[in-house]
Amino acid sequence: MTTERRILLVNGPNLNLLGTREPEVYGHGTLADVEQLVRETAAASGFEVRSVQSNHEGVLIDAIHAAREDCAGIVINPAGLTHTSVVLRDALSGVALPVAEVHISDVYAREEFRHHSYVRDVAVVHVIGEGIPGYATAVNRLIAVITGQTTS
């Protein structure tokens, strides 16, 4: 498959606990559910997906760097790194790929420290508070950017 038909899905720390961690905030869907939804959504537009989840910032950064070689864009839920990681933001900026930032919960309705996103200014798509279905929204909007159907 060519570079322009692949998306990297990045899920940050603690998202491996989806389905059991704070279901009142994040719901009962699992990381496997997220990955399946993203694969199916992307496939409907002829895209494939490579997925990575890690609780280690460097692993995520390495995956982002590798994406510049064979991906057309990145869908990322940086989780807690959203609010703390300048280096994650710099990695996303440095690969110069379109980025979709997605958050399961409405971070702006939660604690004050969650209101700031280091990723926001490098992402062309933002999907906040739509639950796990928000990943499909993010994929579709990102594909529209990649294919030139919209600019954001």
Q: Give residue-wise pLDDT tens across range 112-129.
A: 866 778 899 999 999 999
CA 100, CA 54: separation in Å to the nearest integer?
Answer: 18
Which one from 56, 103, 108, 116 is the annotated catalytic residue?
Answer: 103
Least confident of 13-17, 63-67, 98-102, 115-119: 115-119
Bridge partners, residue 122, by sequence: none
* CA 93 distance to own-chain centroid: 14
Query: Is position 151 within any domain?
Result: no
Domain enclosing residue 97, as ranges: 3-146
Query: Among all chains, which residue has been given the structure tokens 């399961």?
Result: 104
CATH classification at residue 78: 3.40.50.9100
Residue 26 bears catalytic tag: yes
User: Hey, what amino acid is at 97?
Assistant: L
Note the pLDDT of residue 1: 40
15-23 average pLDDT score: 84
Query: Is position 54 within any domain?
Result: yes
Query: Is position 152 within any domain?
Result: no
Query: Is position 43 within any domain?
Result: yes
Asked if residue 77 belongs to a known ligand binding site, the reply is yes
Asked if residue 83 belongs to a known ligand binding site, the reply is yes
Tell me the percentage of the chain whose pLDDT exceeds 90. Answer: 76
Residue 108 bears catalytic tag: no
Query: Is position 17 within any domain?
Result: yes
Nearest to 89, CA basis, from 111, 105, 74: 74
Asked if residue 105 belongs to a known ligand binding site, the reply is yes
Angle between helices 133-146 and 31-43 (to 10 degrees): 30
Asked if residue 16 belongs to a known ligand binding site, the reply is no
| 74 three-class SS | strand
Both structure tokens of 43 = 């496939």
Q: Is the pLDDT of residue 130 over 90?
A: yes
Number of domains in the chain: 1
pLDDT in tens, 57-95: 999 999 999 999 999 999 999 999 998 899 999 999 999
Do residues 16 and 55 touch, judged by C-beta distance below 8 A? yes
> Interior CA angle at 82 toward 58 and 92, to 5°?
55
